[in-house]
A = this chain, B = another copy of it.
């Protein structure tokens, strides 16, 4: 594949940055990939496993001469990191990010960047419940969506070039308004995560009562919830704090709906439950047809493709 950037700097070296580094290397998309992480232990690990071409001990060194800088830190840290890198950015460089919330990143990072730098926020809809520099793998983005949310005045060539990088890593790319992104993700990702966290928390309280039977007999359903609820706590704390309005809006709808189903159970309204469950079954088919999951029954997952 063709090289898209001469030098890519990854700030933050967790699951997403690591997977980007490995995907770029595998596909020859960048001349050099530099990396920086605040934690010395993370930098040491990244060096040991050769995650990027050059692990730097300062952001200044990492971003110097880079034509793309990607912020791969939790959403709550984006502003501070942007302020740190801003003085060292090369003229004409593109700055992007991989945060799960886009409105707050645009509001916090955008104003800190010079006029001669392009800002193209992004969000790859990909991940696992693991985190850290050793959790990345080159195929993470294949057939997953990456949503870019440039503002109206963004440089077209800079946006297209970043889109080419994501396509080169296997992703499908789309563009939308940041606020719309945050609402869609509140439905498809943020609220489901909060619900899973809650259910696992409830079970954890009860586990003390039932002497670990909850873990021992964790059936399908709960088992999937625990996987979701094992995701990185810092990342998710920041998601809920920064996408507060959309999450609270969807949570409100969820609670209303749950109360209606709860009343149907209490009153023994089997017809209502049956119709509801039949309707939700259909949406699953839509997802399989959209190529975002397989129809294979889920148990005994065998891991990475």
Contacts and interface: CB of A to CB of B under 8 A. Distances in A.
Main secondary structure on chain A at its contact with chain B?
helix
Interface in A272-288: 273-274, 276-281, 283-287
B189 A273 contact: no
A219 to B, nearest CB: 4
Interface string A176-203: 0000100111011101111111111111
A241 interface: yes
Assembly of this chain: how many copies?
2
Interface residues of A, number: 106
Interface stretch (A31-39, A64-72, A296-304): A296-304
B281 A268 contact: no
Nearest to A269: B241
Contacts of A229: 277, 280-281, 283-284
Contacts of A189: 219-222
Given A224-B224, A228-B224, A277-B237, A283 B215 contact: yes
B198 A258 contact: yes
A261 interface: yes
A58 interface: no
Interface of A: 76, 125-130, 135, 140, 145, 147, 180, 183-185, 187-189, 191-207, 210, 212-231, 233-234, 236-238, 240-241, 244, 247-248, 250-251, 253-255, 257-258, 261-262, 265-266, 268, 270, 273-274, 276-281, 283-287, 290, 292-294, 296-305
